[in-house]
Amino acid sequence: MDGSAEPTLSVAGTVTRTSVSARSDGVSGVTIALVDASGRSLELVTDDAGNFYTDEPVSAPLRASIASQAATIHMPVDAPSANCNTCHRNPGANARALGWIRPERETGPDMRPGADCLSCHTPPLVGDFDPAPHFGAAGTIAGGAGAVVIIQDSLGKRVELSPTTSGNFWTTEALVPPLEATISRGGAMLVKAAAVDSGSCNGCHDGAAVEALAGP
């Protein structure tokens, strides 16, 4: 250590492949373009760790965009803070942004069956930048063709969901836990024994429960 002071950064953040390990999953070479409140523009490029930063003075709020392989991605609202990770630290936030930066990542209604959908499809903890739709409940049923997932929340709101070919199901309706869940198939019903406090079905289930309805 030479005793020199740490630089004071005016803007900083990280782009990672997941929300778990910035040290091992940083994405390099991503360009972030910023325009501050005074109209000043600057471009920052992520380093090998996925970090981007500058000590050049800027004035919030900031308009931000990310250079994508397909098109430029613009934040729908100006950022009130130059500490980008304050908003993008919630589970899945960087992975969601990366889904736009790297369009070849799997997306769509049949993406990642069996994964915990709500690890990404939930509102951000802070701020409004979030390209992924928000789900009130979501999950996967293995071999779920012909099944119907029925969910009722604590206020009596009821949704009926038909799984896709991959078995994925979801709703964008806001649901208030605890939630009651039933799977219906071919006249048979599988009722969850106890209400749950989350719509993150794959957080507990591997999707195999409906097989109990598929037998003779």
Top-ranked range on mean pLDDT: pick from 9-23, 52-66, 127-141, 201-215: 52-66
* pLDDT tens per residue across span 49-102: 888 999 999 998 899 988 766 567 777 778 877 888 776 654 444 544 554 444
Please indicate whether residue 58 or residue 24 has the higher confidence score (pLDDT). Answer: 58
pLDDT at 129: 46
Q: Which segments within the chain are labelled E, that is strand?
A: 11-14, 31-35, 41-45, 51-54, 63-66, 73-74, 137-140, 148-152, 158-161, 168-171, 180-185, 188-191
At 35, is the secondary structure helix, strand, or coil?
A: strand
Q: Please state, in angstroms and rounded to a whole number, the distance separating the CA atoms of residues 113 and 115.
A: 6
What lies within 8 Å, CB to CB, of 10 at 6+ separation is 54, 55, 56, 57, 58, 82
pLDDT at 50: 82
At 118, is the secondary structure helix, strand, or coil?
A: helix
* pLDDT tens per residue across span 131-169: 567 899 999 998 878 899 999 999 999 999 999 998 999
